[in-house]
Structure 1
Amino acid sequence: MAKAIMIQGAGSNVGKSILVAGIARACVRRGLSVAPFKPQNMSNNAAVTADGGEIGRAQALQARACGLDPVVDMNPVLLKPETDVGAQVIIQGKRFATMKARDYGKQKASLLPPVLESFHRLSRQHDLVIVEGAGSPAEVNLRAGDIANMGFAAAANVPVVLIGDIDRGGVIAQMVGTHAVLPPADRALIKGFAINKFRGDTSLFADGMRIIDEHTGWAPLGIIPWFPDAWKLPAEDVMDVASRTGGDIKIAVPRLNRIANFDDLDPLSAVPGISVEIIPAGRPLPGDADLVIIPGSKSTIADLAHFRAQGWDVDLQAHVRRGGRVLGICGGYQMLGQRIADPDGIEGPPSEVAGLGHLDISTVMKPQKRLALTKATYLPGGQSVTGYEIHLGHTSGPDCRRNWLSIDGRGEGAASADGRVLGCYLHGLFSADAFREAFFAQWGMMTEKYNYEAGVDTTLDQLSEHLEAAMDIDRLLTLAGVVAQG
């Protein structure tokens, strides 16, 4: 059996992704070679990998916690929702098809071989693989053909630790109820449990741990207190992107229906003195924003219609008239132009729509997706930027002649004549501290110095120490078949 442990949740958003990152960092600090793995993920916040594919952003963070470059084997199946009933299916980093949920349900069992192939490849290369489940194993109606939870655990013979979220309430029912509904073979795969997001004195839940133990027979591995600095780590779900208020520089970000690759916001949220406000549907863009960022989108034309339905197009016009600044990234960049054409129906029915009209550019969707890790130069100040491109579509027009980035001598981005509206395809810009400071300084907005990348690594170390103090990591390693070190 491969040396591995699987972290599953008694529900969605119980903190599995962060826990895997923290446990991985703790094991690396003990001297183990560790890799993360998630058989199936659903997220529009993807990372471009060193081997030229894409995986979920959470697995890229977990790879960082392990001291590894992300590779496609860490997340062999990625679902990127395009509509309420369909998603783009990425297999081992490459686009496979766009499917409706019902069709994918019929297809998913056939994806187990590439999932196991990726898992075993990682297992041969590392001392330990820490696997993250998706959703909850208690969704027994989805058990047939499952590759995300117990279906994978059974096929790969990987022991499971179940995580409950006490912050939601009803955690005893979460755990005991999961035990009750699982078939015996799946139930036997769960070897331990832990309770996450506890606020206050953990000793007050000692009886709760005993009750869960008595009803399930699973080994109690600890009560994990709330980790208040989790917001400093890159978020996979837009719901986890923290609106940080109180800074002198105010940035407004409309929450698009199919918002994608919004990790551009993480370093801005982390910088003292910058307020990042995520604007939900139904609320206007604030009139006092210094900068409006229109983020990436998995379905640009559909999200442009959503943008207009909220009246944000009118708000943006008023913002520009007042002298406000606008930055569009990827899909947001496309929206700022004069038109968007999708003649081949790549994102939906073939169509052509008018853009927001703030940049003199046009975009035509193309079948070939561009995936690239990219180094660029910020032309106004000469600062270096490292980021990534992940998009469909080709953009051209007069405002592209006012490009403000250079990639291997090629101009990237566009700017309006007055320089107040900018757009580009490059994600990850604001992780570069020197660029971030220069970008705001050109408009007279002085930001505090902050080393974002070092801050992420410091937070991962603090998270690992937090888990070492709260969890029985030695017992977890024993369950995984690894001799505890430390």
Structure 2
Amino acid sequence: MVQGTTSDAGKSILVAGLCRVLARRGCRVAPFKPQNMALNSAVTVDGGEIGRAQALQAQACGLKPHTDMNPVLLKPTSDTGAQIIIHGHAVSHLDARAYHDYKTIAMEAVLESYRRLMQRYDYIVVEGAGSPAEINLRERDIANMGFAERVDCPVIIVADIDRGGVFAHLVGTLALLSDSEQDRVSGFVINKFRGDIGLLQPGNDWLENKTGKPVLGVLPYLQGLHLDAEDAIDTDQVLSHNAEVLTVAVPVFSRISNHTDFDALRLHPQVDLKFVGPGAKPPPADLIVLPGSKNVRMDLNWLRNNGWCESITRHLRYGGKVIGICGGFQMLGHGISDTEGIEGPPGFTQGLGWLDIETELRCQKQLRQAGGTLNIEASTERGSVDALVEGYEIHCGISSGAGLARPAVRLRDGRDDGAISADGRVLGTYLHGLFDQTASRDALLAWAGLRVAGEELDVAAVRERELNRLADVLENEIDCDALFPRSCS
């Protein structure tokens, strides 16, 4: 089990890399995260949803994502409440105090999934959540040491040296653990080191003498590592300065979800992707994309309070294009009704009115992998584009209205998805992964005004390349033979 001194210390990346190391050695290996709190999720092969990081880790193992890989997923809808997803499906909405009492039930779901994985795989690489040293969360813990103690699992603790204070993080974390928890810590991994490794060695020697635990490895800062983020938004880009560039603006809602939809645009050399947070003025852009949201009505109000309504009106008046994905699609309609209080207090919120639809939020979440053909006309440098798109749906809302007669996507299962405005400037869809395929991405960027075709960009191939790059680094910097002494069956 990989635990971290803090959130974003490198747990997800280390687990993904170790999974790929084992898979390349011919081992049957699976990732596992008992409890995840994240708004980036993926649809699984068994029709549920799990954290996006576990879907990436499954790919590292050569597996399709399965709900057993992340049996408990918490999707925050406010600062104090979250939707509770067990084995891939929403079962309740609880505030933090109520969920604390629910953890006993959640642990049984965790153990049930873990036992199933144990029967099928040689190795399970487990990811913790946050830090194991959160004193207020120790009781009934299912995410870190509570799980490790229950199943007798050895633990590695990883810390991010780029944040500063790495030795204090590691010593302090270990000191706050119980004696039995300290005993199961196999050693430390230091992540994101820059510079001369020799200058770090005195610190490592002191750490080992102080704690009696080995430093298993020091991982370098990997510049430009492009892998799906669990929750944090990655703003790193590589732009071409010798070609036309399309500017895309994305508001960062307070409950933005599935922002991995924009990874392909972030990697595109002819796209200047601008994530715009609260209080920042919406910038001039060729294309505005409204992303998904876990609390659509609240984030619609966020949009209004941060000046986006006027900016979108002006943007469309001067010929710009707008895309709404999932919650963003719902915002583009006439209104959103939540009579059952699915995402917050019951009520109705007026939409932006750019698409002739209305949306009603319902308890039953739509979860499916889906694909089809974009229903847009756009010419590209490659000529005629067969704009195939592959993605997935995760939404509670059901949309209706005359605008659906002009769908954005013709799905292969015979359904239509989304809507396009009568003037062809506004497009909405429930389909996540809209930009991942070359054909659909080129068509959408051409529709938005990019006159020069971009370079071929295969997002799946990028993930494969980066997973192998990560595994190569781990093989060089960590004694994986000592870490995984058991041969695979």
TM-score (norm. length: structure 1): 0.95
Q: Do the aligned partners of 2:238 and 2:268 also contact (CA within 8 Å) in 1?
A: no
Distance of 1:245 and 1:338 partners within structure 2: 37
Classify 1:246/1:340 alpha carbon distance in 2 versus 1 (closer, same or farther; 3 Å).
farther
Q: What amino acid is the match of 2:185? A: I
Mapping 1:3-402, distance limit 5 Å? 6-230=1-225, 232-242=226-236, 248-287=245-284, 289-380=285-376, 381-402=385-406
Q: Counterpart in 1 of 2:380?
A: none
Q: SS at the partner of 1:283? A: coil
Q: Counterpart in 1 of 2:476?
A: 469
Q: What amino acid is the match of 2:227? A: L
Distance of 2:103 and 2:239 partners within structure 1: 42
The structural deviation recorded for 1:244 is 5.7
Distance of 1:305 and 1:183 partners within structure 2: 45
Distance of 1:271 and 1:240 partners within structure 2: 14
User: Which stretch of the first structure deviates more once superposed, 103-112 or 253-262?
Assistant: 103-112
Q: Residue by residue, what CA displacement relative to the aligned partner does 1:55-91 show, whole Å, maximum 9, x if unpaired?
A: 0000000000110000000000000000100000101
Classify 1:141/1:442 alpha carbon distance in 2 versus 1 (closer, same or farther; 3 Å).
closer
The structural deviation recorded for 1:246 is 6.2
Q: What amino acid is the match of 2:230? A: E
Q: SS at the partner of 1:106? A: helix
Distance of 2:448 and 2:334 partners within structure 1: 25
1:414 to 415, 419, 427: 419
The structural deviation recorded for 1:243 is 5.6
Distance of 1:102 and 1:396 partners within structure 2: 37
Distance of 1:352 and 1:252 partners within structure 2: 27
Q: Counterpart in 1 of 2:438?
A: 433
Q: Counterpart in 1 of 2:407?
A: 403
Q: Do the aligned partners of 2:320 and 2:448 also contact (CA within 8 Å) in 1?
A: no
The structural deviation recorded for 1:382 is 3.8
Distance of 2:329 and 2:132 partners within structure 1: 39
Distance of 2:408 and 2:166 partners within structure 1: 51
The structural deviation recorded for 1:327 is 0.3
Q: Counterpart in 1 of 2:455?
A: 448
Q: Residue by residue, what CA displacement relative to the aligned partner does 1:216-246 show, whole Å, maximum 9, x if unpaired?
A: 111221110011132x212221433546666
Q: Do the aligned partners of 2:26 and 2:488 also contact (CA within 8 Å) in 1?
A: no
Q: Counterpart in 2 of 1:3?
A: none
Q: SS at the partner of 1:64? A: helix
The structural deviation recorded for 1:409 is 2.3
Q: SS at the partner of 1:365? A: strand
User: Which stretch of the first structure deviates more once superposed, 406-415 or 29-38?
Assistant: 406-415
Q: SS at the partner of 2:27? A: coil
Distance of 2:326 and 2:488 partners within structure 1: 45
RMSD over equivalenced CA pairs, Å:
1.5
Q: What amino acid is the match of 1:404? A: A
The structural deviation recorded for 1:190 is 0.5
Q: What amino acid is the match of 2:36? A: N
Percent identical: 48
Q: What amino acid is the match of 2:403? A: D
User: Which stretch of the first structure deviates more once superposed, 54-63 or 429-438?
Assistant: 429-438
Q: SS at the partner of 2:112? A: helix
Distance of 1:255 and 1:245 partners within structure 2: 21
User: Which stretch of the first structure deviates more once superposed, 445-454 or 79-88?
Assistant: 445-454
Distance of 2:395 and 2:120 partners within structure 1: 31
Structure with more of its chain in helix, by fraction: 1
The structural deviation recorded for 1:384 is 2.0
The structural deviation recorded for 1:383 is 2.5
TM-score (norm. length: structure 2): 0.94
| Total equivalences in the alignment | 475
Q: SS at the partner of 1:319? A: helix
Q: SS at the partner of 1:429? A: coil
Unaligned runs of 5+ in 1: 1-5
Distance of 1:374 and 1:431 partners within structure 2: 13
Unaligned runs of 5+ in 2: 377-384
Distance of 1:442 and 1:319 partners within structure 2: 15
Classify 1:186/1:441 alpha carbon distance in 2 versus 1 (closer, same or farther; 3 Å).
same
Q: Extract structure 1 runs of 4+ deviating beyond 4 A.
A: 243-247
Q: Do the aligned partners of 1:193 and 1:221 also contact (CA within 8 Å) in 2?
A: yes
Q: Do the aligned partners of 1:52 and 1:372 also contact (CA within 8 Å) in 2?
A: yes
Q: What amino acid is the match of 2:469? A: Q
